[in-house]
């Protein structure tokens, strides 16, 4: 494996008496695509939120680029270079495509010392980013509420591709996409990873995981039930790990 980007060491999360995560340990390398699989309620989304600063872990530690890391807010995670695409879309439907693309990172120029939005510069960046990804949206000045589910998800995917950072977390990013758009989305992920960015993708669809991931990590009942390279396992073996028919950590040749 390449140099580790993020290392999780025995991360736990309790909600009152309920142990959502009972001690998760795995790592993600630079330029590596890790598919995070698991049944509903296994703790995948909780884990993503902990890495992305939406939740704080109860115990355990994380190392990001070799240094102790804990994001207390999404802003901190972002500052460290961690981008997240959430399952429920994180778009403000009341503003236009450009505003959503730049949410919180607007390009400004100073007028009398006051930061003023540079709409033209932002629009140029967005139209370039969307064009290079092959996404067509009639007007970048349309409010997102008037766009289709697929277009919205495309905006969000293009957004992470554009901003990149060092690590990208994707929580079921293709839920609203058609076949062709999903294929393009998977291409995007490979393209991002080839730039040395680590990618964690949560999915329910085995085929997607096997298409895109270098490594497959299975979480079951709050622990890592399997951590295997894609080319050393098979969909059937992974399904067994998810449902718990094989012992923790067991892959066919792992």
Partner 1 sequence: MNPRTRHALELILDNLVWFMLVFVLVVFSIFIPNYFQLGIFANIIEASSVLGVMSIGLALVIIAGHMDLSVESVAALSAMAVGILFCSSGIGLGVQLHPEWLMVPVSLLLALAVGGLIGAFNGFLVVKVKMSAFIITLASYIWVRGLVLVISGGRSAQDLAPAIRWFGIQRLIGLPLTAWIAIACFVVFSLIMAKTPFGRHLVMIGGNETATFRAGIRVNRNLIIAFVLAGAIAGLAGWLLAIRTSGATANLGVGLLFNAFAAVVIGGVSLKGGVGTLPGVYAGVLLLSAINTAINLMGLPANFTQVIHGLLVLAAVLLDAFKQTIRQRLA
User: Is 121 a binder of partner 1 (CB under 8 A)?
Assistant: no
Contact (CB, 8 A) for 225 and 26: no
Dihedral of CA 71/74/75/77: which sign? positive
- Smallest distance from the beta carbon of 252 to partner 1, in angstroms? 38
Question: Does 86 sit near partner 1 (CB under 8 A)?
Answer: yes
Interaction between residue 93 and partner 1 (CB under 8 A)? yes
150 binds partner 1 (CB under 8 A): no
Residue 54 is a binding residue for partner 1 (CB under 8 A): yes
One of 41, 66, 115, 178 touching partner 1 (CB under 8 A): 115
Dihedral of CA atoms 77, 79, 82, 85 in degrees, nearest 10, equals 80
Q: What is the x/- site pattern for partner 1, positions 127-146, by CB under 8 A?
A: -----------x---xx--x
The answer to the question of residue 117 lying near partner 1 (CB under 8 A) is: yes
**How is residue 52 written in tokens?**
């992305």
Q: How many CB atoms lie within 10 A of CB 5?
A: 22
Answer positive or negative: Cα dihedral of 232, 236, 241, 246: negative
Q: Does 149 bind partner 1 (CB under 8 A)?
A: no
120 binds partner 1 (CB under 8 A): no
Contacts to partner 1 from residues 165-224, by CB under 8 A:
none
Contacts of residue 108, Cβ cutoff 8 Å, sequence gap at least 6: 115, 116, 117, 118
Binding range to partner 1, per CB under 8 A, among 23-31, 86-94, 182-190, 204-212 = 86-94
Burial class (CB in 10 A: 0-12, 13-18, 19+), 76: middle
Q: Who contacts 251 (Cβ-Cβ below 8 Å, separation ≥6)?
A: 226, 227, 228, 232, 233, 237, 241
Among 108, 132, 207, 243, binds partner 1 (CB under 8 A): 108
Part of the chain binding partner 1 (CB under 8 A), chosen from 8-16, 76-84, 174-182, 244-252:
76-84
Q: What is the DSSP letter of 79?
A: H
Judged by CB under 8 A, the residue of 17, 112, 114, 179 near partner 1 is 114
Q: Which residues bind partner 1 (CB under 8 A)?
A: 52, 54, 73-75, 77-79, 84, 86, 89-95, 99, 103-106, 108, 114-117, 138, 142-143, 146-147
């Amino acid at each position: 494996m390449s140099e580790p980007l993020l290392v999780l060491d025995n991360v736990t999360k309790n909600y009152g008496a309920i142990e959502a995560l009972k001690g998760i340990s795995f790592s993600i390398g630079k330029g590596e695509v890790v598919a995070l699989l698991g049944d509903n309620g296994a703790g995948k989304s909780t884990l993503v939120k902990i890495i992305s600063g939406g939740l704080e872990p109860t115990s355990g530690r994380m190392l990001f680029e070799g240094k102790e890391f804990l994001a207390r807010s999404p802003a901190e995670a972002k500052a460290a270079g961690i981008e997240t695409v959430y399952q429920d879309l994180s778009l403000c439907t009341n503003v236009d495509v450009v505003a959503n693309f730049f949410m919180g990172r607007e390009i400004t120029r100073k007028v009398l010392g006051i930061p003023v939005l540079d709409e033209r510069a932002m629009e140029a960046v967005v139209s370039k980013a969307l064009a290079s990804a092959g996404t067509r949206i009639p007007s970048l000045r349309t409010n997102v509420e008037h766009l289709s589910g697929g277009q919205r998800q495309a905006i969000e995917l293009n957004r992470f591709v554009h901003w990149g950072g060092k690590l990208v977390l994707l929580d079921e990013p293709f839920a609203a996409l058609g076949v062709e758009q999903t294929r393009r989305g998977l291409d995007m992920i490979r393209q991002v990873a080839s730039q040395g960015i680590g990618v964690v993708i949560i999915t329910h669809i085995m085929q997607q995981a096997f298409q895109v991931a270098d490594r497959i990590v299975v979480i079951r009942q709050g622990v890592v039930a399997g951590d295997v390279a894609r080319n050393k396992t098979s969909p059937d073996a992974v399904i067994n790990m998810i449902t718990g028919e094989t012992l923790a950590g067991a892959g066919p040749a792992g």
